[in-house]
Amino acid sequence: MLELRNLSKRYGRVLAVDDVTCAVRPGRVTGFLGPNGAGKSTTMRMVLGLDRPSAGQVLVNGARYRDLRDPLRHVGALLEGSQAHGGRSAYQHLRWLARSNRVPTARVHELLGHVGLGDVAHQRVGGYSLGMRQRLGIAAALLGDPPVLLFDEPTNGLDPAGVRWLRETLRSFAAEGRTVLVSSHLISEIELTADHLLVLARGRLLADAPLEEFRGTEALEDAFLRLVSGR
């Protein structure tokens, strides 16, 4: 469970996240929808303590992220873009991450196979395709087998088979009782994956509702665009 309490982030004169309060509950996939620049990525960075909130706080199962012991065992996150250094191999990248949070090295080998990078595990990340980097990012998120998972635009660069694999992975995590928050600007993908929706626009939380309820009798795309445009 992830609790956002009156969370705000101001960059100079821009209020990127404006007093967001909500709970992301376990056992379901929560879709995080919003136009570009709505504040989705900023919110996710604040969950991880990478960006300091201007006001408010985030609690991960009741604790602040920075107070978690071995945080990768509590929260796994895929943030926008690759975070692995191009000069390292996938194996080396996961290896130092594992070491920092006391995750056994055996888990690294297991995950590399699981995300389909087994054959290229010892090649430099700089030579990877966007999809392969994304798979590495997903492996890094799963490393500590965490109960809370955050994915920021995870389908970027994935091929159709990868998109389906990811969707089934996210759904199975939710079925196992984990908390799953996934952002996307692809409404159709969210419609296939999520049970619950959070809609953010210009930093404000406009909706926090089950997918079915939010959609009503409309297409999700219509309901979303109507809400975001304020008409």
The footprint of other proteins (CB under 8 A) covers: 45, 48-52, 65-66, 68, 71-72, 75, 77, 79, 81-89, 92, 95-97, 99-101, 140
Q: 146 near 75, Cβ under 8 Å?
A: yes
Pairing of strands 28-33, 55-60: unpaired
CB 149 within 8 A of CB 137: no
Q: Given the complex with other proteins, which of 102 and 226 has the nearer CB atom?
A: 102
Q: Based on CB atoms, which residue is closest to other proteins, 31 or 144?
A: 144
Length of the chain: 231
Three-state secondary-structure class, residue 118:
helix
CB neighbours of residue 172 within 10 Å: 11
Least distance in Å: CB of 8 to other proteins? 14
Q: How far is the CB of 229 from other proteins (least distance, A)?
A: 30
DSSP code for 35: -
Nearer to other proteins, 72 or 220 (CB): 72
**Min dist. Cβ of residue 84 to other proteins (A):** 7
Q: Which of 97, 102, 68 is nearest to 84 (CA)?
A: 97
Q: How far is the CB of 220 from other proteins (least distance, A)?
A: 31
Closer CB to other proteins, 27 or 56, in the complex: 56
- Cβ distance to other proteins smaller for residue 60 or 166: 60
Min separation Cβ 107 and other proteins, Å: 14
Residue 111 — left, alpha, or beta (φ > 0 → left; ψ -120 to 50 → alpha)? alpha
